[in-house]
Structure 1
Amino acid sequence: MSIWPVYTGTEEPHDGMARLPDPPPWRTFNGGPPLPLPLEPNGAASPDREHRAATYQATPQSVEMVNAALVLRRPLLITGPPGSGKSSLPYAVARELKLGPVLRWNITSRTVLQDGLYQYDPMARLLAASREAGNGGRDEPAGAPAGNTVEDHLRLGPLGTALLPYERPRVLLIDEIDKSDLDLPNDLLNVLEEGQYEIPELVRAARQAPTARLMASDSDDRVTIAEGRVRCRAFPFIVLTSNGEREFPPAFLRRCVRLHLRRPEREHLENIVRAHLGDLDPGTEEMIASFLEQNSVGELATDQLLNAIYLARVPGLPAESREDLAKAVLVHLGPVTEFHDF
């Protein structure tokens, strides 16, 4: 039976993860006890995520690099211009391979590693302790907070949830890693290499409370953490996106499989438009041609084109309004070398 590819880039979900070969010996993890993959909330993905996953148009290169990351159990670092589909790819992979809801960690300049692993609110715990003291130790009324142990004020973050010992990989999108503080990529190294982390607040409390029940990032359901330590079983499929705004340290880069997405050529662009908006009409083909011309002299994103085409198809929109709206929506994202009017 053929193993490659596991991810095919097709639109139909399948059970290809059963064909995934064993990990390399240096990327084998043994966390447990194993957890089943969670279901989407209410049994289905939100409409926007489902649409994003179902309409993603994979390139041969992206299919190859996704499979390399899956087989090697390594993060996938995707670079490329805005609107090239970087953040849509993990949703497509999760849908095709039936890997459950995608976890998402949005990065800012203030993000630190702990934000991704877990959140702890010591002030809330202090207030709860004060409330208990003021209550004279009596039982709280119905509807009051349930307790004041450490676990009552802890919640796993997206990365911390992805590293739970799931039977199959969770999909995690770490979006716009290039916007992070300079230290974050280096801080991620050990966690991504070892596939595990500790929660110091639980480690310190382990003598009195060997296990704790914490809420995961994307659910109110609780998972059991033993001795304050989490170790993955199936290394998550982690996608890190970057708009190329900074360089990353070599130690970080060598731990990632890298994929660079380029601006789509005409055929690929037409396939994207068909996937989102149906068959092309003459007006749409003209807008695609104008978009490609404008994109050759300054940066435009594919979703800008989709917005312009969608507006142009609004019933009753006059031709002059269609042209004005196209100009308003298709504004270059950076400097232009030359201007071409529509």
Structure 2
Amino acid sequence: MSKAQTPKQKLEYTGKSQPPQKGVKDLKQREYFPYLPSPDLIEAVNLAIALERPLLLEGEPGCGKTRLAAAVAYEFTKKYLQKQDESEQSKWWDYYIWNIKSTIRARDGLYSYDAVARLRDAQLMGTDPQRLKEFLGEETQELKKRLQDKKNYLKFGALGNALQEHSHRPILLIDEIDKADGDFANDLLLELEELRFEVPETGDSYPTPDHKPIIFITSNREKPLPEPFLRRCLYFFVDFPSEQRLRDIINQRFGEQVKDQEELVNKAVERFDDIRQLLENVPGSRPPGTSEFLEFLTALLNKDDIKKALEDLENLSQKLPLLGTLLKTKQDQELYQKRKNG
């Protein structure tokens, strides 16, 4: 753990840190990308940091909600860790991700306790000591030590790790909370309110840490979230980027790769905008988001012949593999084809 951050230091997110170089990864091999937040979003992040409240981010899929936590972690790494001391160059800000699934329980994010493994180990120790030593050798002593402490069968989840003591305020992303069942968010009320939890299996309590985590929660609004949960969060709706902001994102993400490709970029943005306008008010359809557009543009830029890429854009309705980077259902693809060929 780094000692760069003290309780008296004030954290501030600016959104203006030097963007990560292409392919940069942290110690967990997670890749980082440039992120261009709006001034209002920057203010919301800093309010959440100052008020020590989770920041709930809503918006349509692909608008950049998930990438925000990583962008904050990257800026804080550069601003508060790597600029402190040359020895910190290999350090990264503590950043935990909890990806929510429909079957997940609130406790899963805190910890898991392997009672079955402990029972198995106890049964092994109850066998003939001589035979056990013949089979396990030196591992027999390790088995004894493991059984002496229940904590050896305890594993913390992303939220549980974020609620441990750190030398600075860790960052936690709870991604797509609306995927879980209706009771899930309410089951987190105590942990989000008081930032503490207990483990009945070991009899241990984990009090509120001195350096409270900075928590980001994302939702695609697939299900409504309960009022008690909402009251514990700050809320921000992430708008889809304007055309100018989208172009700024392109320039940050691709750099020299798009320097002399203005025609290609313009046509790609034009096709993307056409598709979004077509599907915007169609029930059951989902307009493509920023992440899909970046994949779409990557596919075009990776073509050996830019003229061929321009031709593919002109005939996009017939180029199903390329169209599939933007439109993810046959219904939406056929709707676009009907409009272009009708």
Per the normalisation by structure 2, the TM-score is 0.76
Q: Give secondary structure in 1 for the equivalent of 2:12.
A: coil
Amino acid paired to 1:256? C
Q: How far is the alpha carbon of 1:84 from its aligned partner?
A: 0.9
Provide the C-alpha distance between the structure 1 equivalents of 2:242 and 2:249, rounded to a whole number of angstroms.
11
Kept in 2, the 8 Å contact 1:94–1:100? The answer is yes
Residue 294 of structure 1 corresponds to: 275
Classify 1:312/1:143 alpha carbon distance in 2 versus 1 (closer, same or farther; 3 Å): farther
- Residues 45 and 101, structure 1, Cα contact 8 Å, conserved in 2: no
Alignment partner, residue 89 of structure 1: 68
**Residue 188 in 1 paired to residue 220 in 2?**
no
Q: Flag the 1:136–1:4 CA change in 2: closer, same or farther, 3 A.
A: closer
Displacement, 1:311? Answer: 1.2
Aligned to 2:299: 311
Distance 1:234 1:335, change over 3 A: farther
1:256 counterpart = 2:246:
no
Give the stretch that moved more between structures: 140-149 or 293-302.
140-149
Query: Per-residue CA shift, 1:100-158, capped at 9, x if unaligned?
Result: 13201111121111101111011111111111112438655235654223112111111
Match of 1:107 among 100, 104, 124: 100
Task: Identify the residue that residue 243 of structure 2 maps to in structure 1.
Answer: 266
- Greater helix share, structure number: 2
Shift in alpha-carbon separation, 1:271–1:143, aligned structure 2, 3 A: farther
Structure 2: which amino acid aligns with 1:293?
Answer: D
Identify unmatched segments of 5+ residues in structure 1.
14-42, 204-226
Q: Within the alignment, does 1:202 sit opposite 2:208 as a pair?
A: no
Counterpart AA for 2:114:
D
Distance 2:166 2:16 in 1: 25
Which residue pairs with 2:254 in the alignment? 277
Q: Is the 8 A contact 1:201 1:228 kept in 2?
A: no
- Measure how far apart 1:321 and its partner are: 4.9
Offset, 1:11: 2.2
Question: Is the alpha carbon distance of 1:114 and 1:135 closer, same or farther for their aligned partners in structure 2, counting shifts above 3 Å?
Answer: farther
Contact 1:77–1:259 (Cα < 8 Å) also in 2: yes
Aligned-pair RMSD on alpha carbons? 2.7
Distance 1:135 1:161, change over 3 A: farther
Q: Helix, strand or coil: the match of 2:126? A: helix
After TM superposition, the structure 1 = structure 2 runs for residues 211-230 of structure 1, keeping only pairs within 5 Å, are 227-230=204-207
Cα gap change, 1:129/1:273 in structure 2, threshold over 3 Å: closer, same or farther? same
Task: Answer yes or no: is the 8 Å Cα contact 2:110–2:160 preserved in 1.
Answer: yes
Please state if 1:11 is matched with 2:4: no
Q: Is the 8 A contact 2:61 2:289 kept in 1?
A: yes
- Scaled by the length of structure 1, what TM-score is found? 0.76
Q: Partners in 2 of 1:316 and 1:258 — Cα distance? A: 45
Aligned length in residues:
285
**Distance in structure 2 (CA, Å) of the matches to 1:334 and 1:68:** 43
Write the mapping of 1:117-266 to structure 2, written as runs, cut at 5 A.
117-136=110-129, 140-143=136-139, 146=143, 147-148=146-147, 149-203=149-203, 227-266=204-243
Contact 2:66 2:175 in 1 (8 A): yes
How much does 1:316 deviate? 2.5
Identity of aligned residues (%): 31
- Cα gap change, 1:183/1:189 in structure 2, threshold over 3 Å: closer, same or farther? same
